[in-house]
Amino acid sequence: MSSSKKQVSSLQEKAGISPPEITSISAINQIQKNRKKQPSAEELIDGILNANRTSLSRGITLVESTNPEHAEKANEVIKGCLPYANKSIRIGITGVPGVGKSTFIETFGTFLTGLGKNVAVLAVDPSSSLSHGSILGDKTRMEELVKNENAFIRPSASGDTLGGVARKTRETIILCEAAGFDTILIETVGVGQSETAVHSMVDFFLLLKISGAGDELQGIKRGIMEMADAIVINKADGDNIKKATQAKLEFNRALHLFPPKKSTWQPKVTTCSAITHEGISEIWETISSYFEMTTNTGYFHEKRKDQNHFWMMETINEQLRLNFYNQPEIISQLEQNKKAVQNDELSPFAAAQNLLALYFGKDTK
Ligand SMILES: Nc1nc2c(ncn2[C@@H]2O[C@H](COP(=O)(O)OP(=O)(O)O)[C@@H](O)[C@H]2O)c(=O)[nH]1
Ligand SMILES: [Mg+2]
């Protein structure tokens, strides 16, 4: 084959002849039209109720949107899904970075789909909106689950405040449940207040730990221990098994010193390996017996009602706060008042009063 012949291809235009302009413009218009064509709220609800992944993803994107124009449609979608929600169990998983949360969710989630469950994995990670790091890390740790057709993985919503991110996650739970997911796993990084936020949106709270050098209980926040319904010592494999068993004893002893839980559930401590899968089925047994017990006592239902109340109040607080801090007058006066307080020219209460008077005065006028 000669080199000159090689250049001739059916895809090539004749030299000097450009394609008629009209074709490309109409093609562009068509592409833009398709792109702009957003499904209506009804179409989204319909899709979600029919377990359509694209509709679910689009619905979640709508819920997560910070564009005020999307809020109304998002609320409509949530309202349409709500009657079909609530039929799931929600499990929160926390632990310091590196403890193995994502690997555990990959193993545990795959185990649950093996039992015929439909598993949705969500994340509350207030740091991810800044770093974008953990989102990618999580998905690569969940190679199997990502491919699993009975699982759905959604990385953390980004947002300015933990309250905002948490509210979006709660609404995402509703959409996932309406799409038929019966087990919701919510991963959160053990930083700041995110555990408290996740605790108030799940039924069961699981704390992952690893065994250290015999000082297991050091550096662990009491509040987190108190929230846990189960403490699981992960990485109990290889040379680590002995240390993990030791840690289990230590945590068990410590947990018995805590006052009894309102649920009357006695938190369990177990060991597992997210890599060898040792101890995974026992964790599910623990969670199952928790659900059986709390359903029988009515605590399960009571807790969800309390959580709904909590989130209503949280949403009001959040919106009030945002509204306050977004007022141009407040923005301009805040710094001045702050300085005056720092220089001891004004008491903190007087400064707060100044700003609040400005806010309320403006609103009631
Ligand atoms: N030996 C062992 N390593 C584990 C286990 N679970 C996780 N890892 C490893 O611990 C590291 C952190 O895991 P990752 O799931 O990303 O932790 P995360 O930050 O809590 O989500 C990775 O290198 C995992 O391979 C386990 O059960 N045994
Ligand atoms: Mg992770």
Q: Could you report the per-residue pLDDT of 126-176, keeping only the tens digit for each?
A: 665 554 444 445 667 788 899 999 999 988 766 667 777 888 899 999 999
Backbone angles phi, psi at 152, to 5 degrees: -140, 125
Cβ 198 under 6 angstroms from ligand 1: no
Q: Could you report the per-residue pLDDT of 319-354, keeping only the tens digit for each?
A: 899 899 999 999 999 999 999 999 999 999 999 999
How high is the pLDDT of residue 14?
55
Cβ 167 under 6 angstroms from ligand 1: no
Please name the residues in contact with 85: beta carbons below 8 A apart, sequence gap of 6 or more: 173, 174, 175, 177, 178
Minimum CA distance residue for ligand 1 atom 1: 235
Q: Taking the alpha carbons of 130, 134, 140, 143 in that order, is the dihedral positive or negative?
A: negative
Cβ 234 under 6 angstroms from ligand 1: yes
Q: Which of 189-198, 312-321, 336-345 has the lowest mean pLDDT?
A: 189-198
**Residue found under tokens 């499990």:** 91
> Which tokens go with 62?
């709508």
Beta bridge partners, 186, equal 92, 122
Minimum CA distance residue for ligand 1 atom 8: 100
Angle at 185 between CA 156 and CA 191, to 5 degrees: 55
Cβ 100 under 6 angstroms from ligand 1: yes
Helix (H) or strand (E) holding 231: strand 230-234
- For the domain spanning 86-311, the CATH number is 3.40.50.300
Cβ 274 under 6 angstroms from ligand 1: yes
Closest atom of ligand 1 to 97 CA is 19
Cβ 98 under 6 angstroms from ligand 1: yes
- Taking the CA of 136 as reference, the closest ligand is 2
Closest atom of ligand 1 to 234 CA is 27
Beta bridge partners, 120, equal 152, 184
Closest atom of ligand 1 to 273 CA is 27
User: Could you tell me the residue ranges of all domains in the chain?
Assistant: 86-311, 327-364
Which position has the higher pLDDT, 299 or 5?
299
- DSSP class of residue 143 equals H
Minimum CA distance residue for ligand 1 atom 7: 100
> What is the C-alpha to C-alpha distance for residues 257 and 269, in angstroms, rounded to an integer?
14
Distance 138 CA to ligand 2 centre (A): 5
Average pLDDT (24-43) is: 77
pTM of this structure: 0.83
Cβ 237 under 6 angstroms from ligand 1: yes
> What is the C-alpha to C-alpha distance for residues 64 and 174, in angstroms, rounded to an integer?
13
Minimum CA distance residue for ligand 1 atom 12: 98
